[in-house]
Amino acid sequence: MSGYNFAYLDEGTKRMIRRALLKAVAVPGFQVPFGSREMPLPYGWGTGGIQVTAAVIGPDDTLKVIDQGADDTTNAVSIRRFFARVAPGLRTTESTAEATVIQTRHRIPETPLREGQVMVYQVPQPEPLFRLEPRRAETRRLHALADYGLMQVKLYEDIARHGRVASSYDHPVMVGDRYLMSPSPIPSFDNPKMHMSPALQLFGAGRERRLYAVPPYTAVRSLDFEDHPFVPLRANGRCTLCGSGESYLDEVVTDDRGGRMFVCSDTDYCGTRQARMKEAAE
C-alpha cells in the first residue's frame, strides 16, 4: 500500500477527527458528529473504530485488535493487517498487556487495563435512545435536557414483563452523571470494567458519523433501579480449555447430538492461562 499517507487517512481528515476527539474527551459521553470517510471496507465492519485508530496511532504504538474477544477472527485479523500495511513502524500484538492501543468489537479484555492504554470501540449505533425515539433532532434535545425517562420506562417494562432487565448486551450507562451512553454492544458482563478505568476509552461509529469518549477515572454507572440493581450476566460454567471461572464465556456447539462446551471469549487471556498451566505441569 505504498502511496498512502501514514495510517491511510489524509492529514486534513486526521486533524478533523483529532479535534472532535478532544471535544469528546472534554464532554464525557456526549456524541460528537464527525465527517466519516469512505474506508476500504464496508460500514458495519468497524469503519468508525478504524478512523479513530488511524487518527490516534503513531509509529511508536503497539496495536491489538479483537473481535468478540478473539484476536484470530476475520475482522480482527484484517484490521490488524490493514494497519500493519499502512502504518510503517507500528507493531501489532495479541497480548493485552503489551498493547498501547486496543481496537475492539464488542468486548473489553479480561486482563485489567492500565494507564497509557487507549481503547477504541467499534460502534454500530451510538444513540442509546435509538429504539425508543428514532428522530435524531429529538434525541439531541433529550440529551441536552438530560431527560432519560424513556430509557427508565423501557427498563421498567422489561422488569414488569420478564422479571429482570432484558438487555444482556449494550446495556445503557450514565457517564459522569450527565450523559446516557451506549457502551457499544459489549456484554453487560463488561460494563463494570468501564467504571473508573485507568485507560482512555474512545468510541467511533462510522456509518452514524459520531464519536464519543470516556476519560480515565470517570464514573460509568449501568442504568438500574434501587430495588432491581444491575447484575452483569455470565454463563454459569467454567472454560473447558483453561478452567477459568471468572472470564466471559462463549458457548460452542461441538457436534449435532447436542454436545456443547464453554470457552473463554478472550483468546489472549485463555491462551496465557493455558500456557501457564502447561508450564506448571512440566
Active site residues: 29, 239, 242, 264, 270
Q: Tell me how long the chain is.
A: 282
Options 42, 44, 58, 245; binder of other proteins; rule CB under 8 A: 58
Q: Which of these, 88, 40, 34, 41, lies nearest to 63 by C-alpha position?
A: 88
Q: Is residue 4 a contact point for other proteins (CB under 8 A)?
A: no
Stretch that binds other proteins, among 3-11, 73-81, 124-132, 247-255 (CB under 8 A): 3-11
Q: Is residue 148 a contact point for other proteins (CB under 8 A)?
A: no
Q: Is residue 86 a contact point for other proteins (CB under 8 A)?
A: no
Distance of CA 159 to the CA centre of its chain: 26
Q: Is residue 218 a contact point for other proteins (CB under 8 A)?
A: yes
The residue whose grid cell reads 486533524 is 15
The residue whose grid cell reads 478472550 is 266
Q: Parallel, antiparallel, or unpaired for β 118-122 and 62-67? A: unpaired
Q: Is residue 192 a contact point for other proteins (CB under 8 A)?
A: no
Give, as one character, the DSSP assignment of residue 245.
Answer: S
Q: Is residue 249 a contact point for other proteins (CB under 8 A)?
A: no
Give, as one character, the DSSP assignment of residue 3.
Answer: T
Q: Which of these, 276, 253, 245, 249, lies nearest to 264 by C-alpha position?
A: 249
Size of the site for other proteins (CB under 8 A): 43
Helix axes 47-56, 11-26, angle to 10 degrees: 100
Stretch that binds other proteins, among 56-64, 162-170, 248-256, 262-270 (CB under 8 A): 56-64
Q: Is residue 149 a contact point for other proteins (CB under 8 A)?
A: no
Stretch that binds other proteins, among 76-84, 138-146, 247-255, 271-279 (CB under 8 A): 138-146
Between CA 121 and CA 108 the distance in angstroms is 9
282: its cell numbers: 512440566
In angstroms, give the least distance from the CB of 206 to other proteins: 18
Nearer to other proteins, 179 or 262 (CB): 179
Q: Which of these, 224, 237, 74, 212, lies nearest to 156 by C-alpha position?
A: 224
Nearer to other proteins, 18 or 228 (CB): 18
- Binding region for other proteins (CB under 8 A): 5-6, 11-12, 14-16, 18-28, 30, 32, 55-60, 140-141, 143-145, 176, 178-179, 196, 198, 200, 213, 215-219
